[in-house]
């Protein structure tokens, strides 16, 4: 009779190597997106249980419209966070850019396209200025952008003048956030998106194989494709059951995908990660560190302007509170909650979208429950603090493992 294998205490309860690896990656932040998706599902389940209108097509469409401006601003914030820096002026820049657009279009009768272009250029110029001051004089970025926060708020009041509020009526501007496509057009967009993603997976796999690198297994790629296709189909079906696919959502997705490509697939993007991971090592490797920093802050200013334009389009007006209130907090908190590290060198542009969804869902759900602003601020602050703590723990775990 063969001897039974000796089992040490607790060995039977030990996780399998695969499950242990998954747990390790969750703790160290490698699967931050999965963690956020699970959290988002839990948030939606709680609010749906409390109010059965939360997951209605109308409310989900409103939710997507509400997060568009914040998500666009957060894209620029992600780039700044990847450097390990912070930009406290993005809210004020978004309000100022929207005011410039409104004044030029309404009071000076500029064409909507020129007014929008001028507003975007204002945001880019502000980002370039702040990035140059930060890089040239080695002043902490939070100090430079805090000064900018105050200065651009004053500029907003100056641009608006005594009127204090300007209503937007040009359909080219208001249509940015108030255009909805028919069901047929929505399904065409869905088919194009699914086909494009499938092509990206196949092309990426072939490139890795040609380079002699290990690619994902066919089963893993099929699972990713089916998951993305299912999410796309469900999203379009929900939006079509209300007013249709909003142009604003397509704009947000286009910027997320485009800016993710830049940061992950271009030399500039690799330089951003390198500078955020270790600026001195990047400098010794020949990377123009100051040039990268100026470019990143210019991107943040540009995206803030675009977000401000979308916010003004949705509200049909610009006033002295544009870009204020909790917009800055939400734009920064979203990516951090979704997994972009405050310490630099780790993150993804997709966290701008995921974070905006998390923050927007919490705010939307509490509005449906008619909770007070005090409760909303405390809950949002608590979620942000929890995300920062998780980020710090993940960093400590990676340090302990010798990965950074």
Q: Which of 219, 243, 267 is the last residue of a domain?
A: 243
For the record, the structure tokens of 13 come out as 């309860």
Mean pLDDT score of the chain, rounded to an integer? 88
- Tell which residue, 155, 32, 134, 40, has the closest CA to residue 80: 134
Pairing mode, if any, of strands 180-181 and 317-319? unpaired
Which of 75-89, 254-268, 330-344 shows the lowest mean pLDDT across its residues? 330-344
Q: How far apart are the first and last CA of the chain?
A: 51
Q: How confident is the model at residue 402 (pLDDT cuts 50, 70, 90)?
A: low
Task: Give the burial string for 48-68 (b: 16+ CB within 10 Å, else e).
Answer: beebeebeeeebbbbbbbbbb
pLDDT at 17: 56
pLDDT in tens, 280-302: 999 999 999 999 999 999 999 99
Instruction: Please say whether the beta carbons of 126 and 89 come within 8 A.
Output: yes
- Tell which residue, 236, 241, 248, has the closest CA to residue 187: 236
Q: Which of 243, 266, 288 is the last residue of a domain?
A: 243
Question: Is residue 312 predicted with pLDDT exceeding 60?
Answer: yes
Q: How confident is the model at residue 204 (pLDDT cuts 50, 70, 90)?
A: confident
pLDDT at 217: 77
273 and 173 part of one domain: yes
Question: Is residue 138 predicted with pLDDT exceeding 70?
Answer: yes
Residues in the chain: 404
**Could you give the percent of the chain with pLDDT greater than 90?**
66
pLDDT in tens, 87-127: 999 999 999 999 999 999 999 999 999 999 999 999 999 99
pLDDT at 245: 95
Quote the domain boundaries for residue 209: 183-243
Helix 90-102 with 112-137: angle, nearest 10 deg: 150
pLDDT at 208: 82
Residue 365 belongs to a domain with what CATH number?
1.10.3470
pLDDT at 346: 87
27 in any annotated domain: no
Residue listed under structure tokens 């340090």: 399
pLDDT at 5: 44
275 and 220 part of one domain: no
220 and 234 part of one domain: yes
341 and 252 part of one domain: yes
145 and 250 part of one domain: yes
226 and 373 part of one domain: no
pTM value is: 0.89
220 and 260 part of one domain: no
Q: How confident is the model at residue 215 (pLDDT cuts 50, 70, 90)?
A: low
CA–CA dist 219, 93 (Å, integer): 46
Question: Is residue 213 predicted with pLDDT exceeding 90?
Answer: no
258 and 309 part of one domain: yes
24 in any annotated domain: no
194 and 325 part of one domain: no
For the record, the structure tokens of 18 come out as 């695969």
Instruction: Please say whether the beta carbons of 183 and 124 come within 8 A.
Output: no
The average pLDDT across 381-395 equals 78
For the record, the structure tokens of 339 come out as 């997994």
How many distinct structural domains can be found in the chain? 2
More confident call, 143 vs 11: 143
Helix 289-315 with 247-265: angle, nearest 10 deg: 170
298 and 173 part of one domain: yes
Q: Which of 192, 226, 243 is the last residue of a domain?
A: 243
pLDDT at 31: 62
264 and 321 part of one domain: yes
CA–CA dist 379, 282 (Å, integer): 39
pLDDT at 393: 80
Residue listed under structure tokens 């330089």: 271
30 in any annotated domain: no
The average pLDDT across 204-222 equals 79
pLDDT in tens, 334-383: 898 888 888 888 889 999 999 999 999 998 999 999 888 888 888 878 87
Question: Is residue 24 predicted with pLDDT exceeding 80?
Answer: no
């Amino acid at each position: 009779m063969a001897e039974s294998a000796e089992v040490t205490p607790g060995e039977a309860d030990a996780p399998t190597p695969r499950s242990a690896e998954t747990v390790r990656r969750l703790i160290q932040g490698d699967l931050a997106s999965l963690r956020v998706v699970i959290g988002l599902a839990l948030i939606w389940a709680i609010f749906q249980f409390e109010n059965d209108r939360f997951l209605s097509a109308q409310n989900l469409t409103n939710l997507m419209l509400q997060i568009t401006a914040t998500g666009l601003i957060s894209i620029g914030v992600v780039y700044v966070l990847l450097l390990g820096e912070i930009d406290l002026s993005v809210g004020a820049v978004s309000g100022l850019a929207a005011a410039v657009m409104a004044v030029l279009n309404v009071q000076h009768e500029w064409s909507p396209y020129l007014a929008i272009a001028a507003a975007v250029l204002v945001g880019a110029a502000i980002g370039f200025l702040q990035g140059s001051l930060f890089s040239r004089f080695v002043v902490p970025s939070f100090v430079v952008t805090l000064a900018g926060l105050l200065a651009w708020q004053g500029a907003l009041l100056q641009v608006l003048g005594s009127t204090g509020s300007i209503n937007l009526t040009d359909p080219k501007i208001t249509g940015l956030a108030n255009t909805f496509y028919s069901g047929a057009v929505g399904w065409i967009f869905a088919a194009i998106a699914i086909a494009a993603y499938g092509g990206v997976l196949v092309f990426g796999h072939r490139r890795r194989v040609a380079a002699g690198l290990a690619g994902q297994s066919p089963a893993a790629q099929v699972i990713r494709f089916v998951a993305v296709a299912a999410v796309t189909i469900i999203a379009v079906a929900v939006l079509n059951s209300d007013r249709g696919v909003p142009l604003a959502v397509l704009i947000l997705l286009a910027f997320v995908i485009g800016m993710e490509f830049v940061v992950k697939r271009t030399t500039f993007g690799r330089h951003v990660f390198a500078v955020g991971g270790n600026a001195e090592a990047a400098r010794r490797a020949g990377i123009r560190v100051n040039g990268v920093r100026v470019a990143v802050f210019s991107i943040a200013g540009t995206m803030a302007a675009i977000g401000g334009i979308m916010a003004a389009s949705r509200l049909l007006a610009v006033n002295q509170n544009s870009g204020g209130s909790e917009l800055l907090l939400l734009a920064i908190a979203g990516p951090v909650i979704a997994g972009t590290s405050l310490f630099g060198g780790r993150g993804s542009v997709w966290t701008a979208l995921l974070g905006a969804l998390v923050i927007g869902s919490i705010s939307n759900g509490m509005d449906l429950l008619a909770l007070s602003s005090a409760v909303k601020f405390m809950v949002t602050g608590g979620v942000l603090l929890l995300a920062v703590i998780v980020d710090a723990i993940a960093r400590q775990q990676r340090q302990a493992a010798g990965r950074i």
